A and B are shown apart, each in its own frame.
Chain A
Amino acid sequence: MTLTRPFGLAAAALALALLYALPAIAPRAVVQDLFGILTLLVLAMNWNMLAGFAGLVSVGQQAFVGIGAYAMFAAIILMGLDPLVGVLIGGLAAAAFAVPMAFFAFRLNGAYFAIGTWVVADIARLGISQWKALGGGTGTSLPKGTAKDMAFVGQIKDMLDVSSAAAADALTYWLMLSLAVAMLVASYVFLRSRMGLGLQAIRDNENAARSVGVDPVKLKALVFLLAAFGTGLCGALAFIQITRVTPDAAFSVIDWTAFVIFITVIGGIGTLPGPIVGVIVFYILQRALADYGTIYLIVLGCLGIVVMLFARRGLWDMFTDRTGIDLMPLTHRPPQGSLPRPKPSRRAA
């Protein structure tokens, strides 16, 4: 058990190095493909923090993708800013929208919270489709050459010796990969902090958590806000590559929330590596079944049901149970030497 963890971490580091090197060694189509997968991964990590750790089962995360995307388009088209600045503005706009949304949705519990977030997301979609400057209901495209003129694209073009378009793809890919890594590290640090401990207490028993001094609303609101920021950044970045935005695409509950829930649930909700495992499974299925159209969605749905029935906490939890390997444990151990040492227990992260 003690040796497998360094091995696991070394394997993870190697995989990460490979992922970063990818634009230099793989064709552009693969980079674009993985960009899509990383987008889903970042969304899944955000949703996992919400639903898996804060107990906030939101079905309205597409609101933040859409607002992030539209804010980024507005920053470029209406304000003439660099797309990368636009991405940051996208994240901030999503976080700003999360404040009034939380005021409304936090009055609701359980299924009503889920439905409430969905309703708010749809209201946001309807609101955005009134925005004539950004094409109203039919949407708009990024001005020609926007991606090529992005900061750093020139340098990457020279470095990799590729076309501007491929260099722009490489840049957005690296940013999305870095966003995923940052999300993972930030989630880990947060969950191991005092606030993360409070969050886990709330998840287990909200009433008791209050009675030991934890403020559930405050912690949940914080997670909701941070997840909105992460989701908004991710949405904005995703639409730089898509280059065209419409209200229906940017606020799609299927693309930005349903797949994301599927990924998190099969991978392991409430565990940090869960979304990574889920997204790998999702990717493999997508590749294997790409030619079968609807059958692909049916298989996906069935797999989701099987996992929910037989491996409630997902594939990662099943794996840690069988092997005892836990790459990102959230456990706080008592100070060493201060207690008789029984067999240590293990909890999945």
Chain B
Amino acid sequence: MAILSLHSVSRSFGALKVTDDVSFELNAGEALGIIGPNGAGKSTLFNLITGNIAPDAGRVFLDGRDVTRLPPMERVRAGIGRSFQIPQPFGNLSVYENLLVAARFGGELGAGEAPAFCMDILSRTGLAAVAEKPSGGLSLLQRKRLELARAMATKPRVILLDEIAGGLTDAECVELVATIRAIHANGTAIIWIEHVLHALNSVVERLMVLNFGRMLMIGAPDQVMASPEVREIYLGIEA
């Protein structure tokens, strides 16, 4: 059964239709990749799924339940975790505290179990050494890791990852892919927006292409990548 489904979701900013009649289903435990040029509406689609932005039309379902009207904090507790493309750490809190907030609120963990849970995530995301550092002072790379770690700490059943691999070295990318695979192996469903295609395609089972807010294609990664239309759009990005 689909864990998440969108039914004809649309959203405009002024005259600009940023999400145009998007429908798809994500199966429980599935990993879906989203690609598309800058400005295609990928991040906006995430915001519509998480409730940070309200759709003009269409509905969002989680486990068959209509969550279109639920605010973000209730959707997190219902199991949708997210990272932000531009990292949004709680800058005055330490890295550990950033996760603690997520675990205590989104993950609904008690004071007893949350600390060890957070530390486990920090070590899996390579942040244990900076656990006590104020998150505002982290490097961009560490901030991106923190985005991933904090999303994990909300105990999501669907995790939405927005361009967390950009700017990584090859070795770091391999590490990141391993982490995401591990999340996937736990049965967590994933939607991953990424320009680093080899990393993306080594994880996801299906790939969606967005262009000008429209869903151009969705299917097996090699099929999608073989499509002439997609190759044309992606020429600039692959290079």
Q: A340 within 8 Å of B by Cβ? A: yes
* With contact pairs A200-B90, A213-B73 given, residues A342 and B100 touching in the complex (Cβ less than 8 Å): no
B119 proximity list for chain A (CB < 8 A): 334-335, 338-339
Contact partner of A194 among B77, B92, B104, B122, CB < 8 A?
B104
- Of residues 148 to 200 in B, which have CB atoms within 8 Å of A's CB atoms? 150, 153-154
| Interface 1/0 per residue, A331-349 and B, CB below 8 Å | 1111100111010110100
Q: Are B77 and A213 in contact (CB under 8 A)?
A: yes
Shortest beta-carbon distance from A336 to chain B in Å:
10
Do B150 and A212 touch across chains, with their CB atoms under 8 A apart? yes
CB proximity of A38 to chain B, nearest CB, Å: 30
Q: Number of residues in A with C-beta < 8 Å to the partner?
A: 29
Asked whether A205 and B89 contact (CB < 8 A) given A210-B73, A335-B115, the answer is yes
Are B105 and A213 closer than 8 Å at their CB atoms? yes
B12 interface residue, CB < 8 Å from A?
A: no
Q: Which of A267-290 contact B (CB under 8 A)?
A: none
Instruction: Verify if B38 is at the interface (C-beta below 8 Å from A).
Output: no
- In this assembly, does B134 line the interface, its C-beta being within 8 Å of a C-beta of chain A? yes
Does B94 make an interface contact (CB < 8 A)? yes
A210-B73, A212-B106, A213-B105 known; A339-B90 Cβ under 8 A: no
In the complex, identify which listed stretch (B123-131, B201-209, B210-218, B229-237) lies at the interface while the others stay far away: B123-131
Is the pair A212, B105 in contact by a Cβ cutoff of 8 Å? yes
| B105:A332 contact, CB within 8 angstroms | no
Q: Is A208 an interface residue (CB 8 A)?
A: yes
Q: A201 within 8 Å of B by Cβ?
A: yes
A211 adjacent to chain B (CB < 8 Å): yes
Contact partner of B90 (CB less than 8 A), chosen from A194, A201, A340, is A201
Instruction: Judge whether A331 and B116 touch: CB under 8 Å.
Output: no
A residues in contact with B44, CB < 8 Å: none
CA distance A214 to B71 in the complex (A): 11
Chain B residues lying within 8 Å of A201, measured Cβ to Cβ, are 90, 93, 98, 101
Beyond A198-B104, A208-B89, A212-B150, 19 additional contacts (C-beta under 8 Å) are A194-B105, A194-B111, A197-B93, A201-B90, A211-B72, A212-B106, A213-B76, A213-B106, A213-B154, A215-B73, A332-B96, A332-B97, A332-B100, A334-B115, A338-B115, A338-B116, A338-B119, A339-B122, A339-B131
Among all A-B residue pairs, the 10 with the closest Cβ atoms:
A213-B106, A213-B105, A204-B90, A208-B88, A212-B102, A213-B76, A210-B72, A201-B101, A335-B115, A212-B106
Residues of chain B having any CB pair with chain A under 8 Å? 50, 52, 71-73, 76-77, 82, 84, 88-94, 96-98, 100-102, 104-108, 111, 115-116, 118-119, 122-123, 128-134, 150, 153-154
